[in-house]
Chains A and B, each alone.
Chain A
Amino acid sequence: MTLATVARSVAARAGNVWALPTLPLLGGGAATAVWGRRRAALQTVPAVNTLSSPSAALSETKRPAHDTADTFDALPPSVTLPLSTGPLSVGTAATGGTQQMNLFTAVNDALRIALETDESAVVFGEDVAFGGVFRCTQHLRDAFGPDRVFNTPLCEQGIAGFGIGLAASGVTAVAEIQFADYSLPAYDQLANEAAKFRYRSGGAYSAGLTVRMPCGAVGHGGLYHSQSPEALFCATPGLKVVMPRDPVRAKGLLLASIRDANPVIFMEPKALYRASVAPTPVEDYELPLGVAETVVPGRDVTLVGWGAQVHVLVAAAARAAAEDDISAEVLDLQTLCPWDVDAVVASVKRTGRLVVSHEAPLSGGLGGEVAATVAADAFLSLEAPVKRVCGWDTPFPLAHEKYYVPNVERCLEAIKDVVAF
């Protein structure tokens, strides 16, 4: 796949009479690679792609250190996701089953599938060529070539601007910003250009790029390697914002984001890149955007979070059950903009209490938006004020990180407060 081919494809898409070029799938599969994001979702991927069959994948991807043959043999036949719209089963035996993956392996797998199924897809960013500082883009350049997986200079504004231009010309652009903290120089491009393209062109153009960025606390990131700026992007109409909590969600949500025709900010909790390991479907699958998931069902209080914080809430829920016999329901929003208002409101109407938790600072954070909306839509159901357990209104500290992040103890205290109100 060369730049010339891309250019020809762009011309074809623009209305040229040339037929769309067709290429065989890498690995010798029989299916034809098709053009564009939307068609990728429609095409049939062979049940067992040679690159994603378990044995081939094992030799390709880096297995987590603690993975053993025993664990591999005992993988469940499929994964059922308790989405608010109904349970969804993926990774059944018919579609290749599951493979132990961590978050960066799952992201890598999603990128590989995106590059395979959409001949216009390109992946670019700082250091992506050698595999990326978090290994998310490993082996992709070898498989797909330097015209489809390439480095950019150290210029986030340029990465975003270039991606927007590519996307507006019909290319499936998947940009990487090395840390979410660095997305701020690109903020004008994302807020003023990407978010507004379709609106101000009256629908003639859209800038449906995907911008991936590692976010969140990691134990030693300090001020500029730990931020979670989701509130800034959620407050900009025209952008979608997604944050997965584990490899299964990461792969499905990333494929859905790449194939979505809107600009999507895909935030990956960096602490989970290696720490979150799960049997992940090897097939090409998408999870719906805008749909939350009930991680733990409960009766007494609703806990809402996203990304790594969901795991903190699950731990706090377990402690609340053990110590005070409180049954807490944990919801993972997954998509932060547009977020699943119906699922959260329905849950609060049942439980009557809500705690929202996020790492980002309290003031102006997304917790405020969730609290405000629930306070309006479920006002008569609330038995207690909505509590927000968040990072403090200071820059993200280095030495004092453990006092900053909303840990299990702080979440547990909030749960007890709202139940006792």
Chain B
Amino acid sequence: MSKIFMFDALRAATDEEMAKDPTVCVIGEDVGHYGGSYKVTKDLHSKYGDLRVLDTPIAENSFTGMAIGAAITGLRPIVEGMNMSFLLLAFNQISNNAGMLRYTSGGNFTLPLVIRGPGGVGRQLGAEHSQRLEAYFQAIPGLKIVACSTPYNAKGLLKSAIRDNNPVVFFEHVLLYNLQEEIPQEEYFLPLNKVEFVRKGKDITILTYSRMRHHVIQALPALLKEGYDPEVIDLISLKPLDIDSISISVKKTHKVLIVEECMKTAGIGAELIAQINEYLFDELDAPVVRLSSQDIPTPYNGSLEQATVIQPSQIVDSVKSIITSVKAIIT
């Protein structure tokens, strides 16, 4: 085992896959000579050269389109969005091309494409650099969506994503790149369509992903001290949702809290709640509660920015409130 930063884990995954398969390449702004704005492609350019670690102009629509073309003609490109927010400019490419070309070609084209980059609310990056696009990509058929949250799952998931023959949108988070964790030295892969059980428990199922996983973990000591026993699940796969694993948990706890960083309206929580209610209607003792970011553009002001995302104290309050309300109904 060795201790590693998240950005390094992602770099190691990319490096290992590029070493094994000459068709794997990276395309993005400042990925080459500069080494990546978050150092995820550090030193790869000197190792693999200009064409395999390709610096592009600031033209997301164009280089995403280029990567899609490369993917259908035999390469395995990894597109880096310097910030996921910028990929809105490539939305048509991702939705109408990447999502559809396998279908429209009757299966003749496969698209082994990874689109990765940092999203989420950072530290005063402003509205256009703090987007959470998972809610929008969720509505696009033909894409897989994954959100990593630790160095361990980042490496395993990115390797699987690169080896997958479908377009995978791989969400990282601006504030998680400096997380450190011990990870195995030997090669490992993680499945793209399964949740990660962070903590087993029996009182309530907390569903979360990305940075909010860490806010939930920060809320745990206060909850454990008061005798609550939450089960914490990191969704990992945002499309398709691993409803089978979630069902196992809900059948045990009968209460669900969703803690997400995307905005409330039409977010990941909305789809999750609709599915949980549809398949697990009789298992629920209380309405599924979703704690989401406010439905507003992210403020630049630091205190306001903090107030738009869910903080650990809100998670503690919500768990207590749900469990207390159910106890009141039952007793």
Interface residues of A (CB under 8 A from B): 181, 184-185, 187-188, 191-192, 195-196, 199-200, 223-224, 229, 231-232, 234-238, 337, 360-361, 363-369, 371-373, 375-376, 379, 382, 384-388, 392-395, 397, 421
Contacts and interface: CB of A to CB of B under 8 A. Distances in A.
B88 interface: yes
A385 B266 contact: no
B142 A363 contact: no
Interface residues of B, number: 51
Contact of A223 (B104, B263, B266, B269): B104
Given A187-B91, A188-B91, A371-B274, A199 B139 contact: no
A191 B135 CA distance: 13
Interface string B190-229: 0000000000000000000000000000000000000000
A364 B296 contact: no
Interface in B76-134: 85, 88-89, 91-92, 95-96, 99-100, 103-104, 126-128, 131
Contacts of A363: 138-139, 141, 239-240, 271
Contact of A364 (B127, B271, B281): B271
Contact of B61 (A185, A191, A236): A185
Interface of B: 61, 85, 88-89, 91-92, 95-96, 99-100, 103-104, 126-128, 131, 135-142, 239-240, 263, 265-267, 269-275, 277-279, 281, 284, 286-290, 295-297, 300
B281 A384 contact: yes
B92 A187 contact: yes
6 contacts: A185-B92, A200-B127, A235-B136, A364-B135, A364-B239, A379-B287
Contact of B85 (A192, A375, A384, A395): A192
B311 to A, nearest CB: 20
A301 B274 CA distance: 17
Contacts of A234: 265-266
Nearest to A375: B277
B82 to A, nearest CB: 14
Contacts of B265: 234-235, 237, 337, 369
B53 to A, nearest CB: 26
B296 A394 contact: no
Given A200-B127, A368-B270, A395 B99 contact: yes
Nearest to B137: A364
A108 to B, nearest CB: 29
A223 B141 CA distance: 11
Given A363-B141, A379-B284, 9 more contacts: A223-B100, A236-B136, A337-B265, A363-B271, A369-B265, A372-B277, A385-B278, A393-B141, A395-B99
A395 B141 CA distance: 6
